């Protein structure tokens, strides 16, 4: 899953593709590099980010989705708003990637049930301005069990709203209401999420827990634009366990690494390509 941020304040690319024209060119480059799916988002979810109004989010993503879908790309919309999800599916998106797991907008599940789109349910506890504060990173039973239980609860709500099991993909929500150490614990315990029986998408690319791992001797985290090698290494490990999808910024590097892995005898069947 290649990332197309149509935002001026993304943590990873600093608004480099914030216009429709730049986002379209970037999307085409990602497809040429081997992306199977393009995730188009109009709202930054980095810690501390301020939400755009719905009209602004719609203006950012719908023209990009419309054109990319017309060019034959398989498109996902990265949104927490049912209104944006509905308009995006109408414009040609096949997947709704809701980082709030349906918590931010109670109408999201109705839209997904009515359209039949694939829904990525991510583990989430609060919006970006709050998610790293106070009790949001506290998991009394441990982060692995906490994420598993909360995702299972969101699945039950989605199914009760009419979403079919075959529409669902789960995302453990790395970086959302989790400390750096909790992200590593969650990755090590990913089997608990996989045991829920749904495909799993993981988005680790360029996130701060990688920057902390690669920190300089004085403790300064590795800058965002110098975390890609670690992200590719993690993608290979996740591919080896058969996750459904890898959400990445550098599609070419990830696909190249996966090509080498497959050439050396990776299983013929599995999740990540």
Catalytic sites, residue numbers: 207, 247
For residue 223, the 8-state DSSP code is P
Residues 6+ apart with CB under 8 A from 70: 92
Helix ranges restricted to H, the chain: 20-33, 54-70, 82-91, 108-115, 143-160, 180-188, 191-194, 208-213, 228-240, 251-263
Could you give the angle at which helices 108-115 and 82-91 cross, rounded to 10 degrees? 20
User: Do residues 46 and 9 touch, judged by C-beta distance below 8 A?
Assistant: yes
For residue 53, the 8-state DSSP code is P
Q: How far is residue 256 from each of residues 45, 233, 239, measured CA to CA in Å?
A: 28, 12, 13
Residue found under tokens 């827990």: 209
For residue 97, the 8-state DSSP code is E
């Amino acid at each position: 899953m290649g990332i197309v941020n149509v935002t001026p304040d993304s943590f990873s690319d600093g608004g480099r593709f914030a216009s429709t024209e730049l986002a379209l060119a970037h999307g085409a480059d990602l497809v040429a590099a081997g992306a199977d799916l393009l995730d188009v988002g109009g709202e930054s979810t980095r810690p501390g980010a301020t939400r755009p109004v719905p009209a602004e989010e719609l203006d950012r993503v719908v023209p990009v989705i419309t054109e990319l879908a017309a060019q034959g790309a398989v498109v996902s919309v990265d949104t927490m708003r049912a209104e944006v999800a509905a308009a995006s599916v109408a414009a040609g998106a096949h997947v709704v990637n809701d980082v709030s797991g349906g918590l931010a907008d109670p109408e999201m599940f109705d839209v997904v049930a009515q359209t039949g789109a694939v829904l990525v349910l991510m583990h989430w506890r609060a919006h970006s301005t709050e998610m790293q504060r106070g009790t949001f990173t506290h998991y009394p039973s441990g982060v692995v069990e906490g994420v598993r239980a909360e995702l299972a609860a969101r699945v039950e709500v989605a199914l009760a709203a009419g979403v079919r099991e075959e529409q669902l993909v789960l995302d453990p929500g790395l970086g959302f209401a989790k400390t750096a150490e909790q992200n590593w614990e969650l990755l090590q315990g990913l089997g608990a999420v996989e045991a829920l029986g749904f495909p799993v998408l993981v988005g680790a690319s360029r996130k701060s827990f990688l920057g902390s791992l690669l920190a300089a001797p004085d403790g300064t985290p590795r800058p965002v634009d110098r975390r890609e090698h670690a992200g590719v290494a993690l993608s290979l490990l996740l591919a080896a366990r058969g996750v459904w999808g890898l959400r990445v910024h550098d599609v070419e590097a990830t696909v190249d690494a996966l090509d080498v892995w497959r050439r050396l005898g990776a299983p013929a069947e599995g999740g990540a390509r």
